[in-house]
Amino acid sequence: MKLIFGLFTLFWLATPACAEQTAYAVRSTEIKQQPYSDAATVARLNENASVSIVSRQGGWVRISSRAGNGWVKMLSLRGGSTATRRGDSGLQNLFNIGRTGSSGITVATGVRGLSEEDLKHAQPDPHELEKLQNYAVNKARAEKFAREAKLKSLPLDYLPSGGKP
Amino acid sequence: MFKRSALFFVICLLPACKQGTMEFDLDKAVSIAQKARQANRSIEEPEEIRMGSGIAANLLGTSPLLADDKAQQYINQVGRWVSLHTERPDLPWKFGILASTDVNAFATPGGMIFITRGLLQKLNNESELAGVLAHEMVHVLRKHHLAALQKEARLGIASDLLGEALKDNNSQVLEKAIKAGTEVYARGLDKEDEFEADRMGIVIATRAGYDPYGLPAVLQMLETGSAQDSSLALMFKTHPAPRDRLNLLDRAMGTRFDAYSAPTQTDKRFNSEVSQYL
């Protein structure tokens, strides 16, 4: 009995560690050596092929797969695979990588609120609204903030609603 | 002239229909109806902001702000910078981190934008934050909530008169509009409005110098979540499936966003300004 319980505990403990950062290809796509369209092609990833996610850079994701390792376009992948997740442990942060020290944080004292029922019976909190007003920043400060991180404005039109087929 | 007589005729009939059921102010009705024709059912900016503030106060009533001045200032700077790249840069944009551990983000009419601590905690960099805030801004720019509210039959006032009634400082109407407006957040917006917010949001974030793939990255993260996860329940109920949103973005974006990337300084800043607080 103890042995069974022990094995069960072991299995239960081991499961989260085994949770792989997986995704699958929604279409056949080239695996590139570098995260650029004109980089050398390492291999071809077939539609529905499973991959493991290593990291992300802009619109590119570094993967390892049976077909090969390298970079593929982020939107050629969708999260997960055949595995389904249920319950409160659901959010596995499959793509939540690259930010050190932040994954797996549990909040000890959390306010939930914001359920459907909460919203239907909401009562105003003018004091919190006043706080919100006080946090507002003006344009000049926002522009300074952008300059500090070398953010530059770019002209760009909105996209048509249909998109390419 | 004919139109005016027709309107007068209709208005003369109204009290007869309603007699005994409610008091009717004929002068006011004429004035509201006439103004409403001129206003062409639009709710003007001061009323939009007043109503949005009321809805924001209600949202804050269900979850207070995260008690962290530095993090709040940080998202206000990101958000205000992004807002300068919209067609309404002069709105009194305000941004708040809600203390809730729920995973969600909200916008209220007039430019008040909220992100929950639960969602912020799952983000990896400033581009993802900018993408989420830009998506919410589109709801304000395109007045999606006002459209949802004007579809509301429960308001007890014809939707095309709402703008005028609000302008008349009718506190009862304002109160009703705020209550009904808050309930829109429990039901969610039109799916097409969410898709539009994704499609326009990535452009706005890119204009502000951020990685266009910030918002898609957040959607891919959400895609791995489950509707059974209670912290995601409302967000999943009120939005189209992340997979559908990604499919549409995939088609809309094509390869034309490949050349853009965010300056690395933004990543460092995000990690120092946000990570430690959450």
Q: Which domains, ranges and CATH numbers included, belong to chain A? A: 19-79 (2.30.30.40), 117-148 (no CATH)
Residue ranges of chain B whose pLDDT lies below 50? 1-22, 36-40
pLDDT digits (tens, 9 = 90+) for A28-78: 999 999 998 899 999 999 999 999 999 888 899 999 999 999 999 999 999
Write out chain B residues lying below 8 Å of A137, CB-based: 73, 76-77, 80
Closest CA to B66 of B104, B106, B99, B115: B99
d(CA A51, CA B276): 32
Write out chain A residues lying below 8 Å of B95, CB-based: 135
> What part of A 3-22 touches B (C-beta under 8 Å)?
none
d(CA B199, CA A119): 27
d(CA B146, CA A104): 38
Write out chain B residues lying below 8 Å of A160, CB-based: 252
Q: B161 or A5: which carries more pLDDT confidence?
A: B161
> What part of B 16-75 touches A (C-beta under 8 Å)?
53-54, 56-65, 69, 72-73
Does position A146 have pLDDT exceeding 90, yes or no?
yes
Closest CA to B98 of B62, B55, B133: B62
Question: Is A111's Cβ below 8 Å from some Cβ in B?
Answer: yes
d(CA B207, CA A157): 9
With 0-12 / 13-18 / 19 or more C-beta atoms within 10 angstroms meaning exposed / middle / buried, residue B90 is exposed
What proportion of chain A, given as a percentage, has pLDDT over 70?
66
Q: Which residues contact B30 (CB under 8 A, 6 or more apart)?
A: B7, B8, B11
Whether residue B78 and residue A131 make contact (CB cut-off 8 A), yes or no, is: no
Whether residue A113 and residue B63 make contact (CB cut-off 8 A), yes or no, is: yes
Q: Please give the pLDDT value at position B170.
A: 75
Q: Please give the pLDDT value at position A22.
A: 86
- E strands, chain A, are 22-25, 29-32, 41-45, 50-57, 60-64, 69-73, 77-79
**Rg for chain A (alpha carbons), in Å?**
23
Q: How far is A15 from chain B (nearest CA, A)?
A: 17
Inter-chain Cβ pairs, chain A and chain B, closer than 8 A: 281
Q: Residue A99 — very low, low, confident or very high, per pLDDT cuts 50/70/90?
A: very low
Query: pTM (2 decimals)?
Result: 0.80
Is A75 within 8 Å of A16 (Cβ atoms)?
no
d(CA B199, CA B125): 20
Domain ranges of chain B: 45-145+187-271
Question: Is A106's Cβ below 8 Å from some Cβ in B?
Answer: no
Q: Which residues contact B134 (CB under 8 A, 6 or more apart)?
A: B82, B200, B201, B202, B204, B205, B208, B215
Question: Is A151's Cβ below 8 Å from some Cβ in B?
Answer: yes
Helices B264-273 & B126-141 angle (0-180, nearest 10):
90
Mean pLDDT of chain A: 77
Whether residue A111 and residue B186 make contact (CB cut-off 8 A), yes or no, is: no
The pairing of strands B112-116 and B105-108 is antiparallel
Q: Please give the pLDDT value at position B235.
A: 92
